[in-house]
Structure 1
């Protein structure tokens, strides 16, 4: 009997299944307004991005690290003279970011419904453990997944380990996500299929070139097109 080319499908969470980056952008706008007396918004945003780059190894991905990076940036922009009232406001907008309701993206539920039971579905996301668990619970999508993996980073080793544990190995797996850097390129390196679903907003640190020459790379306009890609593999 011929083996199916695909048995396991991994899904990213933020900006693949539900909205995420738009809330960070709104928070960053609030942050630049708080420091408007000290610098231009472009200068503040540039400083925040540099702080995030430095702090990824220390704090990882997620809202808590983002909030700490805002505080660090405020200290740098004001040369150590940031008022305590501003620090309090930064903590408040960070907490507000943790409380945003979950907004699932178009075609998510019907796609997961169609695939569940026919394939092993695994949610693979990075970020703060409590925040990701909160969003998954509020999304109402948890029952579609056979496994949930909340990881500190996504690389080829991550996908090899998860797809070997949950499914039949990376060669018979697919990763679906909006980040080329985190979801697609390392999954391809692990030997899996990688389906890129662009989102209109993508964090600057997640930008890389599309691996258009990779034979297992696919690109779709929205998740509603995923089933057609899967059918084309058989």
Structure 2
């Protein structure tokens, strides 16, 4: 399956007219093509991460296959950053429909930081997408597992070992009423995924501002630059081969 996914992605990437826009929906066609060639008895190894995205091998390849993503799902990527010298953290999220969010919070670990980012992203997208299912991608397997366990049990308390501060627990509790509409998936980080890179950059700027390293005016300027770069990457016309 891994080899077939890599070959399909490489073949698709060579001639896709949507390549410059990041192929926002091409994973659906790739997944369908992959399913045709995978025997019904095929299964992932037991060590594979739950909800893992099957992706091509090359680190520079941006294509990832979500083989069961609903066609009308709204997808967003969340990321977070935590400082070494304080409990302050920054988070950022970017949705494929163009909406974004970022801010600062308190966290005792990188795991809790990412949980805060996931919850904030999910709630932000939910408030803008009243009926659609929501898929939040994050490159922290610990955070993805933690949030999914809370959603499955409808009990934020199961995350108590990862989420310590009251703010993070409240965000999880706020997400519980929407548990039937939210999926949280793992996404390999830093593979050239536009939304992932932008969410990471927004989180880093939010952290620098929260810890006093840059003033608010500089933070706003950097955040605006990140969003302009993202929109340019998404709207750039395909280049001739």
Task: Give me the TM-score of the superposition, normalised by structure 1.
Answer: 0.27
